[in-house]
Chains A and B, each alone.
Chain A
Amino acid sequence: MEQFFYYVKVSWVSIKRAPLPYALTVFILSLGLGVFFANATFYYQMNSDPLPHKSDKLFYPMTLMVPYECNDCLPPRIHSYSNVQKLSASDIPTAKVAMYSSDGYLRLSSSQAPTPVSIRITQPAFFSMFEVPLLHGSVWSDDKARQELILSKQTAEKIFGRSNVVGEKVLLDDRHYTVIGVLDNWQMLPRLYDANNRNHVNDADQVYMPLETGYDYNYMSNSQSHTFDDTDFRQLGTQGRTGALHQLQFWVQLDTQAQQQAYRQFMDNLVADEKKAGRHQSTPNNQLVAMRDIVRFFGGESADIKAFALVTLLFLGVCLFNASHLSLNRYLSNQYEFSLRRALGASRLQLQQQMLADVLLMTLFCTLCGLLIAWGGVELLNYLWPANRLFGRWDPTLLLLLLGLTLSSSYLVTLYPSLRASFGGLNQQLKE
């Protein structure tokens, strides 16, 4: 240990002797690492898997059961109510859920100012399938329509000033509801259960309403809806349940390969039967996409983040080259000192240990400066691309990755110069 401190001390003395070249090396390397890390933060978070143990078991089925003929079309990303009923009529999935999102205005009484809220209109299985934590109360016992809502914790606290509000009454769009549950803090990131139209980058919803109630009260999707026939969007409770008004997302949980195979077969049979019955004419094109692949399937990956990732990687490369260049000049300037040590009996191994002390010091400085630059970079990215703001956060894994990257970069930057300084011809070096 004593020897280690000695090496660190020698490194520090060497830095103090020529601080400017060293500061430039640290600055350039930190700049590359900081800029790379700022963008990598978004890239990593946006491509992370929020349910790693389950994301290969949750599937989004899609079929081309639509009242128009198209033989080379992808199926619509959203379903009609009647198609969801047909896709649900199977016992193969362990769980299944339909849902969509809408907007509303929440208040305690009509004399109060309304609070705009986003509503997820869904079924009870949503909470178990996507592992939504419940803080108080319970979820609906079945899929029937009812005047009952579940609130997020933040919404309960905003409206009532506390979180335990089970049994309390609220007004949502001038209709009375009872609160039956309050969620714990929860934000799936990315929000893969709603990946259509790049909604996976959005905040979690504030209010949860039964699907049948949403249809009864004519809540239209605030994300995407299509009418492929004459269905009147003002008659969601009646025509919306039978016509080709598409606005629902539908998920099934298929735990085993056998279940997945069986459900694919079920979809094939269903579409063939429907075609035989004359309810659609298109060539079947069924899709069953796993949750972990859904963003890519919908083309929702952030092209800007991807492009900038490419460029920041390039920038990191340039900074590594530059820092190596500066470091090489610095070591060559100190070559006489290295050679003198060798002449006095220091082994090459000891010189390499000295180099490792240099690497550790550089790692320390670069991590600190790099984090500072990365923080600034994240703030800048949040400003320029506010839609991605939820992903600009660090976690221990990410910080460890940065540390590992800084350590290896510092090692790379120091490796060649130190080797050159310790392995050159001693006579020649001492003469210079």
Chain B
Amino acid sequence: MSLHLLLKSLLRRKVVTLLLLVQLALTLALLVNSLLLAGQTRDKLNEPTGLDLPHILQVQLKPTTTDLRAQPLLGDLLERQLAAVRTLPGVKAVAYANQGPVRQGGNQGNLYDPNDEARTNVPSIPAYIVSPDFFAALGLKLLEGQLPQTAVPLDGEVRSPMVLTRSLAEKIFPNRSAVGLDTSYAPVAAVVEDFFGHLMATEIMYNRIQVAPLLGVDWGYALLINTEPSATENIRQQLPDLLRQIDPNIEIFYIRTLKEQHQRLYSNEFGLATLLGILSGLMLLVAMVSSYSNAHFHALKQQQEIGIKRALGASKQLIFLELLSENWLTTALGALLGVAAALALNKMLASVISLNALSWWLPLLVSLVLLVCVTVATWYPARIATSVSPATATKTL
């Protein structure tokens, strides 16, 4: 059994072999890129967020009457809601905020060092207006300075001090402590550890926080609740009734853990990865059907030839191995073509969506998967071929 003879056998069925090669190449291209996208989505879902995602609940809500959406009734409503939520067993901390973290976008503003605007201006930073317990509700670690303990109105005479996340403080005030320094909006009171803010911000971990009363909630607001791990689900179930008991004039849009919120953020990528995964599975199935059909038909057509070989002393194992080798060779050639196709597809997809470049081991891994699938698909037809009797050879005489 030489490579030359195998190639000759394949060339005898040029069209069929060509069709099979194209299929295998395209299958490999799609499988490789699907795996790449799936890995990329998994990486995003596992990226560090600085938050205890599964145990922080976010309630997004809005008063349904205009009076309740503005001060002073809004302040009173928030106080009553916070007080009621604190009484629930398992609640470690609760705070209000004009918006929650781990979002696509929302209320954002710029920020810079007034002494060096051109170099330090950061255009899009999530701007949180929160109650003092916000830091405890998100479990944020204080790095330097002092967290504001009272809410200072944003439209008052005194500027409400600002808390920055570490990476933002380093960006605006590099190589020095930001605490006590002035920004374009307010002086910095403290720096806390980074946490995931908005996906559409200049940087995910850039956040600026001011402890202040909410001026109005026409876009709704968030209650952020840090819970004991064992109590999260129980608290979630009690919240709708509890909040409506305090004041029925509210609409609750959703109650989610930040983990669910994080997953929703990448739902499009997850959807595409799922679809490509399904399609890859179908492509493998199609490739297996093709290999099976090719091997089966070939075995039928070659019955006389196999018979002669058997009559001349070829063992069953040799016939079996010969048929498998033909398919392995086809797969190897298809995989070679597939690497080029995978690179081309990767380039095309990257022009439409965010997709990393291929790593060398991925085509190798997928080629092995393809080889296993093709072997499984050709096993049965190859076994049948070995049962051809040497007497078949006499039919050709």
Binding site for B on A (CB under 8 A): 21, 24, 28, 31, 35, 105, 114, 116, 173-175, 218-220, 222, 232-234, 303-304, 306-308, 310-312, 314-315, 317-319, 321-322, 324-326, 328-329, 332-333, 380-381, 384-385, 416
Contacts and interface: CB of A to CB of B under 8 A. Distances in A.
B23 A303 contact: no
Contacts of B254: none
B376 interface: no
Contacts of B301: 332
A384 B19 contact: no
Interface of B: 15-16, 19-20, 22-23, 26-27, 29-30, 33, 64-67, 70, 155, 215-216, 218-219, 249, 251, 267-268, 270-272, 274-276, 278-279, 282-283, 286-287, 289-290, 293-294, 297, 300-301, 345, 348-349, 352-353
20 contacts: A28-B289, A105-B251, A173-B66, A233-B216, A303-B353, A304-B268, A306-B352, A310-B348, A311-B276, A314-B26, A314-B29, A315-B282, A318-B23, A318-B286, A325-B20, A326-B289, A329-B293, A329-B294, A333-B300, A385-B271
Nearest to B15: A328
A321 B352 contact: no
B23 A325 contact: yes
B271 A325 contact: no
Contacts, number: 119
A312 B267 CA distance: 20
Given A234-B216, A310-B348, A318-B23, A174 B66 contact: yes
A219 B218 CA distance: 8
A307 B283 contact: no
A322 B289 contact: yes
Nearest to A325: B19
A329 B295 CA distance: 11
Contacts of B20: 325
Given A310-B348, A329-B297, A220 B218 contact: yes
B272 A304 contact: yes
Contact of B30 (A31, A174, A315, A324): A315
B26 A31 contact: no
Contacts of A222: 219
A114 B272 contact: no
A28 B23 CA distance: 12
Contacts of B219: 220, 222
Given A24-B293, A324-B19, A326-B290, A384 B271 contact: yes
Contacts of B279: 35, 311-312, 315
Given A116-B251, A174-B65, A333-B297, A307 B352 contact: yes
6 tightest Cβ-Cβ pairs between the two chains A and B: A384-B271, A329-B297, A325-B19, A105-B64, A114-B64, A307-B352
A193 to B, nearest CB: 22
Contacts of B276: 308, 311
Given A314-B345, A325-B20, A329-B297, A308 B275 contact: yes
Given A28-B286, A384-B275, A304 B353 contact: yes
Contacts of B249: 114
Nearest to A27: B289
Given A310-B348, A314-B345, A328-B16, A31 B293 contact: no
A116 B62 CA distance: 11
Given A234-B216, A307-B353, A314 B251 contact: no
Nearest to A306: B352
B17 to A, nearest CB: 10
A321 B65 contact: no
B349 A384 contact: no
Nearest to A416: B15
Contacts of A24: 289, 293
A318 B30 CA distance: 11
Contacts of B70: 234
Given A114-B64, A234-B215, A385-B271, A325 B294 contact: yes
A303 B293 CA distance: 37
A416 B16 CA distance: 11
A222 B270 CA distance: 27
Contacts of B267: 384-385
B218 A326 contact: no
B297 A332 contact: yes
A73 B274 CA distance: 37
B185 to A, nearest CB: 12
Contacts of A175: 66
A392 to B, nearest CB: 13
Contacts of B349: 307, 310-311
Given A304-B272, A329-B294, 13 more contacts: A28-B286, A35-B279, A116-B251, A173-B66, A175-B66, A222-B219, A234-B70, A304-B353, A311-B33, A321-B23, A325-B23, A328-B16, A328-B19
Contacts of B64: 105, 114, 116
Contacts of B216: 233-234
A222 B220 CA distance: 10
A384 B274 CA distance: 8
Nearest to A315: B279
B2 to A, nearest CB: 26
A332 B302 CA distance: 13
Contact of A35 (B270, B282, B345): B282
Contacts of B30: 311, 314-315
A201 to B, nearest CB: 12
Among B16, B216, B268, B278, chain A packs the most CB atoms within 10 A around the CB of: B268
Nearest to B279: A315
A140 to B, nearest CB: 23
Nearest to B300: A333
B293 A317 contact: no
B19 A319 contact: no
Nearest to A28: B286
Nearest to A333: B297
A385 B286 CA distance: 26
A231 B49 CA distance: 34
A104 to B, nearest CB: 9
Nearest to B350: A307
A322 B271 contact: no
B314 to A, nearest CB: 23
A399 B268 CA distance: 27
Contacts of A329: 16, 293-294, 297
A319 to B, nearest CB: 6
A214 to B, nearest CB: 12
Nearest to B218: A220
Contacts of A232: 155
Contacts of A317: 26
Contacts of B271: 304, 384-385
Contacts of A219: 218
A114 B282 CA distance: 48
Contacts of A105: 64-65, 251
Nearest to A220: B218
A322 B377 CA distance: 15
Contacts of B272: 304, 307-308
